[in-house]
Structure 1
Amino acid sequence: MLLLGVSIVVIIATIAMPMMAIKASSKENPKPKIEDGVISKNTSVQLDGESTVKVFITAENKVEEVDLEEYIISVVSSEMPANFETEALKAQAIAARTYLATKKVKPCEKASGGEICDSIHCQVYMNKESRIEKWEGSDGKGNWEKIKAAVDATKGKVLSYDGELVMYPQFFSTSSGKTEKAIDVFSNDLPYLVSAESSGEEIAPKFETDSNINTDEVINTINTKYNKAGLTRENIKSNIEIISRSESGGVKEIRIGNEKIKGTDFRMLLKLNSTNFKFEITESEVKFSCKGYGHGVGMSQWGANVMAKEGQKYDYILKHYYTGVDIVDLEFK
């Protein structure tokens, strides 16, 4: 999912996960049954397997078995700044543990026989020693212990909805002041991923960002991906048009020449920080102004930290961003 916002990362890959916590008709996302190795109860979610994680280490091209909670410490330290409030770190730990649980149900296709990979495709993972070394100029051991305490305080806890494991525990870096509905971004209508207010994020470093992209680069990038777009220097100004926005301000659909595509696809194509963008086309470049950082669905990490600073506990934070969820125990059978 980047250190803060990878999630975003992470996150895009998760849209392919099977749906369990919702009723769905999508053939790509069938609802798992008991024989798929998961049983849900009101106070716990039970999975087949053991409380270890089979992580595919990309750089070494091998699968490594890691203690589950040790894995979560590493992921939280990679996905959220150590100087964030403890309650925000706890919320992140539960979201990360929930995501891991989904990979025990449906392993990552890039994990080469493991359950989950160590890159932003899933969740960023590195061993304790490497993680501590990455905290240059700060108290690495102290940071690890702080995050470990947050993970320990939520040991074994995951998110459930309607008695079943939440299969899309999305999170991202920074909202524009309001999170997005899943259906407006990923096309999956998930009852626990609806729009939520997320105020106070103006302090985030990427709350508002600008990026300028060479006009020819924009034309070539779009035409290469969408050969019916037919963009040229002569027609580009009249052939990129925002068709609709979500209630949160994100672009839902945009017209590029003779093509209509989702705002999230346009964002990914041009590597914009969010779908909440405006643009101005000049002779030499296209100027994009974005609000927020990441896909905008689920828990905003900076928003969670703002809530924690205001005195809210991790359970309140999670239930604010994931509507109607419960926090339950993850058990193995």
Structure 2
Amino acid sequence: MKIINARTTSIKISNNVKIIAAMTLIIFTILIALPIAFLENGKGKIDSFNLSDKDIMKSSKITFPSNGKVKLYHRSEDRVEEIDLEEYVMGVVASEVPANFEEEALKAQAVAARTFYMSKRNNPNKEEKEKGAEICDTTHCQVYMSKDERISKWSKSEAESNWEKIQKAVLDTKGQVLTYDGSVLEYPQFFATSSGKTEDAKDVFSMDVPYLKSEDSKGEEIAPKYKTSTQIPINDFINKINSKYKGVNANKSNLSSLIKILSFTEAGSVKEIKIGNEIVKGTEFRTLFNLNSTNFTLDFQQDSVEVNCKGYGHGVGMSQWGANAMAKSGSKYDEILKHYYSGVEIQEINYN
């Protein structure tokens, strides 16, 4: 018969308990110490282990109700219409770019247009909000026409095929939007034609937007408004200058010495222009004379001022004609979008 030594067993149990207790203490210490080591940044701040706003945006989903509708304000009719999201995007693509654009360019426009709507849905303009809408149907937001209205403006021989082409481009990119750091782009800007390079947002809108930088945009020379020339009667030009800028005292004899271009943007457009003692932004001068772009030159003649422009639009974001040139060269729509919008991703909307 085996004799059990109670004292020995007790010692063994006691030692085991001590070992377990010691190990538990060590593990507990590690569990407490390690997070503190990560959390402390050397200055007593506890922020490294917390989710930053950027991390939260990256983990967030872009949602849209499965039965949701776009609340569209028709400006000319002063009424709000609720329509399907993808139907709305079709109406924008059909209105914003020619139907004979390359399919990949149409897809790029569809994603940009859908992104533009989602940004306005999150933050509508004051006027649209007061009307109970999210977005309008003009260049104040982005242009929209219904299928029937757009088809009526195309030739009968091309109308149906044009719409089918646009419909396919939209449905092939259904629900896709552009995001930066996991959040829908707040400023998914696009425009018609560049002068060969897009503008940095800080030069046009006076704000630094990381995804709206100056980018090369080749092959746009074939665009109908790539180069334009306008003759402004000399008296009209002088009157506008004197009305806008008091004390300048512009006249026929001093115009060429009174007005000087001071600086240019990275894209080669007029950044600042001096009018007498006034320093004026190129964008302000463009608005005053309703010019096609800020990439302009002035030629003071005897009876008129000749203004020669390159490009059409504000020049920020995606150039529509540039996108088509890229598509013709074989670029896919995602490549086009990531070229014009720096550091973006394409993310699908979650319908709930």
Secondary structure, in 3 states, of the residue corresponding to 2:188? coil
Deviations 1:66-123 (A, max 9, x none): 1110000000000000000000000001111111011111113332221111111111
Match of 1:20?
Answer: none
Instruction: Check conservation: 2:199, 2:265, Cα contact below 8 A.
Output: yes
Q: CA deviation at 1:50?
A: 5.8
The answer as to 2:314 corresponding to 1:295 is yes
Q: Which residue among 314, 317, 320 is the counterpart of 2:333?
A: 314
1:270-306: CA deviation from partner (whole Å, max 9, x where unpaired): 1111111111111211001111111111111111001
Structure 2: runs of 5+ lacking an equivalent: 1-52
Deviations 1:252-284 (A, max 9, x none): 111122211111111111111111111111121
Deviation, structure 1 residue 64: 0.5
Q: Distance in 2 between matches of 1:299 and 1:73?
A: 18
> Is 1:196 paired with 2:215?
yes
In 1: Cα distance, 2:143 partner to 2:181 partner: 29
Change (3 A) 1:302 1:238: same
Flag the structure with more relative contact order, 1 or 2, with Cα contacts below 8 A and sequence separation at least 6.
1
- Partners in 1 of 2:247 and 2:176 — Cα distance? 48
- For the residue of structure 1 that corresponds to 2:120, the secondary structure is helix
Equivalent position to 2:107, from 86, 90, 94 = 90
CA RMSD of aligned residues (A): 2.0
Q: What is the aligned counterpart of 2:269 among 250, 255, 259?
A: 250
Matched, 1:130 2:149: yes
Aligned to 1:6: none
Gaps of 5+ in 1: 1-33
Residue in structure 2 matched with residue 104 of structure 1 by the alignment: 121
1:262-273 paired onto structure 2 within 5 Å: 262-273=281-292
Following the alignment from structure 1 to structure 2, what is the Cα–Cα distance between the partners of residues 260 and 235? 17
Corresponding letter in the other structure for 1:249: G
1:153 and 2:153 aligned: no
TM-score by length of 2: 0.80
Q: Which residue identity lines up with residue 200 of structure 2 in the other structure?
A: K
**Partner residue of 1:231?**
250
Query: Is contact 1:178-1:195 (8 Å) kept?
Result: yes
Q: Which has the larger radius of gyration?
A: 2
C-alpha distance in 1, partners of 2:113/2:88? 10
Mean CA deviation greater in 56-65 or 230-239? 230-239
Give the one of 171, 188, 203 matched to 2:190. 171
User: How many matched pairs?
Assistant: 297
1:56 correspondence with 2:73: yes
Correspondence 1:67 to 2:81: no
TM-score normalized with structure 1 length: 0.84
